[in-house]
Amino acid sequence: MKARDIDIRYVLHEKLNKQYGNDEDTVILDELVVCQGEACVDVAVINGTIIGYEIKSERDSLDRLPNQINAYNKVFDIVSIITGNCHLDKISSIVPDWWGIYLAISTETGLEIKQVRSPKPNKNVEAFALAQFLWREEILNLLSKYNLDKGIKRLPKFKLWPYIAENIPLDELKEYVRSCLKSRKELRALKNLKSNTV
């Protein structure tokens, strides 16, 4: 029986929860939109890095993969793809050699995820693409922190992204983006808690 995306995602979450479950600095997100909607990664892990996991089950097409590769390469420090046997050879020839590759295998005890190739750090993260993660208030707070907000507060976001890319050191931008993404998870959890208690 061919494993579905939802089956692989469940096992992946189990694996990640075992690895990061006690780490308060780690947030795991599903369906993280990148590059203003160019792509949406299946699972993202955010701590001291931003890690993306893309799932291509044997029931999935690879038609969107080239576009996803282009988008993920701009923003993730580490990327891994999880697939089934039928896609393994083609995926191995398509994805960059620094991407990790994992194989979803059905066994007698259930679905397992086995590493085929370990991921390596992405050396070409783009500041402009990282800046696109930020909400307007987050952008203005960042620019204010560096005293770069004078005369530009009313500019639209798409004009502020290149300004950030040119003026904020990449490592500091990475840290700020990670902090913002993690805080949004906390905001969503708080909102859900309030709605459940009303």
What 3-state class would DSSP assign to 36?
helix
pTM of structure: 0.91
Residue 193: predicted pLDDT: 40
Q: Nearest to residue 182, comparing CAs of 20, 40, 50?
A: 50
Structure tokens at 148: 């770069």
C-alpha torsion 69→71→72→73, nearest 10? 80
Contact (Cβ atoms closer than 8 angstroms) between residue 29 and residue 46 = yes
Residue 2: predicted pLDDT: 75
Residue 196: pLDDT over 60 = no
Mean pLDDT of the chain: 91
Residue 197: predicted pLDDT: 42
Q: What pLDDT band is residue 1 in, cutting at 50, 70 and 90?
A: low
Q: The sheet that has 39-46: what strands, in order across it?
A: 27-34, 39-46, 50-56, 78-83, 100-107, 110-117
What CATH code is assigned to 5-117?
3.40.1350
Residue 29 phi/psi, 5-degree rounding, is -120, 145
pLDDT in tens, 121-156: 999 999 999 999 999 999 999 999 999 989 888 899
What 3-state class would DSSP assign to 106?
strand
Q: What pLDDT band is residue 186 in, cutting at 50, 70 and 90?
A: low
Residue 33 phi/psi, 5-degree rounding, is -75, 135
Which residues have C-beta within 8 Å of that of residue 59, sequence separation ≥ 6? 2, 4, 5
Residue 107: predicted pLDDT: 85
CB atoms within 10 A of CB 93: 7
Residue type, 157: K
pLDDT in tens, 21-78: 899 899 999 999 999 999 999 999 999 999 999 999 999 999 999 999 999 999 999 9
Residue 192: pLDDT over 70 = no
Which run of H or of E encompasses 129? helix 127-131
Mean pLDDT for the stretch of residues 82-93? 95
**CA-to-CA distance for 186 and 4, rounded, in angstroms?**
29
Residue type, 3: A
Residue 1 burial by Cβ neighbours in a 10 Å radius (0-12, 13-18, 19+): exposed
Mean pLDDT for the stretch of residues 11-18? 95
More confident: 44 or 191: 44
Residue 195: predicted pLDDT: 41
Each domain of the chain, given as residue ranges in start order, spans 5-117, 127-197
